Amino acid sequence: DGGITQSPKYLFRKEGQNVTLSCEQNLNHDAMYWYRQDPGQGLRLIYYSQIVNDFQKGDIAEGYSVSREKKESFPLTVTSAQKNPTAFYLCASSMGQATDTQYFGPGTRLTVL
Amino acid sequence: QKEVEQNSGPLSVPEGAIASLNCTYSDRVSQSFFWYRQYSGKSPELIMSIYSNGDKEDGRFTAQLNKASQYVSLLIRDSQPSDSATYLCAVNGGNNRLAFGKGNQVVVIP
């Protein structure tokens, strides 16, 4: 089955901890994206990558970091510098052109204890 | 900052009726437009994509695009309880980034 997987589904973080969210795709897509969703806020872009070993900041990159060492993988680290990390995190991928659809993984719900 | 606006407030429609959702966008150079459906606690799934002015129909769904007026709409005909969800409008301005609206909640009343 082709698709996008995210793990874990639920994640709990203590104050001051860094946590890493996994995103893997086997769709052979060039572009990958990380979004954050808060209630009533819609989706906001954190980081995106259009090619391996390259990525760009989105609208709310502060307190987050990413890497793109493999085409299939785009992990997101939520650092202790992110003051309000409790949210629903969504990973997406696309072929990379402006007209291409972005497909979403199932999401990770992060809660700060 | 490119903006996508969706009229706020839940939309309640009786089963079998037409649900109409509207979305306006600020970036005149936007090239591609998408409607996603999101059930509570789940991730968005694509309903429709549209790139040219006019109507595009897929089953009970019709997307309408008017680039001159900078709006895109979604019609859901013969609404079913399974259509109860939040509908997200997304616009790609040509830089491979999607801008999302905040979404419209649709409630279909049996």
| Per-position pLDDT tens, chain A of length 113 | 669 999 999 999 888 899 999 999 999 999 999 999 998 778 999 999 999 999 999 999 999 999 999 999 999 999 988 889 999 999 999 998 877 899 999 999 999 88
User: Would the pLDDT of B2 be above 90?
Assistant: no
Spatial contact of A108 and A6, defined as CB atoms under 8 Å apart:
yes
Report d(CA B106, CA B37) in Å as an integer. Answer: 10
Identify all chain B residues contacting A98, using CB atoms and an 8 Å cutoff: 31-32, 92-96
Q: How far is B29 from chain A (nearest CA, A)?
A: 12
Mutation site for B-interface testing, chosen from A104, A109, A111 by largest number of B Cβ within 10 Å: A104
Q: Do B45 and A104 touch (CB under 8 A)?
A: yes
Q: Which of residues 33-62 of A touch B (CB under 8 A)?
A: 33, 35, 40-45, 48, 50, 58-59
Report d(CA B14, CA A109) in Å as an integer. Answer: 32
Q: Tell me which DSSP letter residue B25 carries.
A: E
- pLDDT tens, residue by residue, B22-79: 999 998 888 899 999 999 999 999 999 999 999 999 999 999 999 999 999 999 999 9
Report d(CA A38, CA A23) in Å as an integer. Answer: 19
Question: Which residues, other chains included, contact A24 with Cβ-Cβ below 8 Å and sequence gap of 6+?
Answer: A4, A5, A6, A72, A73
How many angstroms separate the Cα of A64 from the Cα of each of A14, A22, A61, A83? 16, 13, 6, 11
- E strand segments, chain B: 4-6, 11-14, 19-25, 32-38, 45-50, 54-58, 61-66, 71-76, 85-92, 98-100, 104-109
The pLDDT, as a whole number, for residue A1 is: 60
What are the tokens at A18? 């860094």
Q: Do A42 and B92 touch (CB under 8 A)?
A: no
CB pairs under 8 A between A and B: 55
Identify all chain B residues contacting A43, using CB atoms and an 8 Å cutoff: 44, 88, 90, 98, 100
Let me know the angle formed at the C-alpha of B34 by A53 and B21, rounded to the nearest 5 degrees.
145
The pLDDT, as a whole number, for residue B1 is: 54
- pLDDT tens, residue by residue, B66-108: 999 999 999 999 999 999 999 999 998 767 789 999 999 999 9
